[in-house]
Amino acid sequence: MQFLDLTLPTPQENLALDEALLVTAEADGRAEYLRVWESPTYFVVLGRNCRVEDDVFVENCRADGVPILRRVSGGGTVLLGPGCLNFALVLRFGRDRRLIGVAESFDLVLGRVLTATRSIDANANRAGPSDLVVGDRKFSGNSQRRQRTHLLHHGTVLYSFDCKAIARYLREPPRQPAHRKHREHQSFVGNLATDMRSLVERLRDAWHAIDFAPDWPRPLVERLIRQKYESLTFDRESLGSPEHIR
């Protein structure tokens, strides 16, 4: 498996690169990737079938210059930014027959991610089909996009994230897992007590991602941005953390 530790300058580029790795692997037939990245600025990402009006405080995003984008995978709407490690796994179905089924593939992937996170906190556990928790606080959400020969698994791990920021930009989701127990964002979400480098190394170990990717598909990323990764609001020149949510 090839490893890519790369954060591109803009939210659009980062989402497009995840999809570009899936497209590249499908064309190659055998390639697999683990990519990690972390945005230095806040932005909202809708799941493939989520609706802006259901999930997002659009006026707050517009006022603060926080882009609203849509990823290619499913799952719910999230706020990404500093202190949230994003990982993308591009896995070949032929690697393990359990990847063919959706539920079984989440079992396999989250099992390995739990191996990584339990080496940091032994109380890390799974809750529902796609969340990881410590105690009753969610620190990781996961989603997938499935193609003909490969899947793209999107995951997040909060380790130093300002959870108060979520409530400014995201509404309480209309559909909630049972383990949320109707809690507000700040009561439901928490951080795994670690640092980024330790977390990245444990994820690499869990997936045996020892080969560094020699390059990444720049032209494809640029094309995907033009075709589908435009912000649903607008982008300011500076997208730093607003003072009132620090």
Torsion angles phi and psi, residue 242, rounded to 5 = -60, 145
Per the domain annotation, does 87 fall within a domain?
yes
Number of domains in the chain: 1
How far, in Å, CA of 193 to CA of 199, rounded?
Answer: 10
**DSSP code string of 220-233:** HHHHHHHHH---SS
Residue 116 is part of which domain span? 2-235
Per the domain annotation, does 241 fall within a domain?
no
How far, in Å, CA of 60 to CA of 62, rounded?
Answer: 5
Global pTM value: 0.92
How many CB atoms are located within 10 Å of the residue 64 CB?
21
For the stretch 153-170, pLDDT in tens is 999 999 999 999 999 999
Per the domain annotation, does 133 fall within a domain?
yes
For the stretch 221-237, pLDDT in tens is 999 999 999 877 644 43
User: What is the mean pLDDT, run by run of 10 residues, along the chain of 246 residues?
Assistant: 97 98 96 98 96 96 96 96 98 96 98 97 97 97 98 98 97 94 96 97 96 95 92 50 36
The mean of the pLDDT values for the chain is 93
Domain with 79 in it: what CATH number?
Answer: 3.30.930.10
How many CB atoms are located within 10 Å of the residue 241 CB?
16
Per the domain annotation, does 82 fall within a domain?
yes
Torsion over CA: 150, 103, 197, 188 (sign): positive
Per the domain annotation, does 212 fall within a domain?
yes
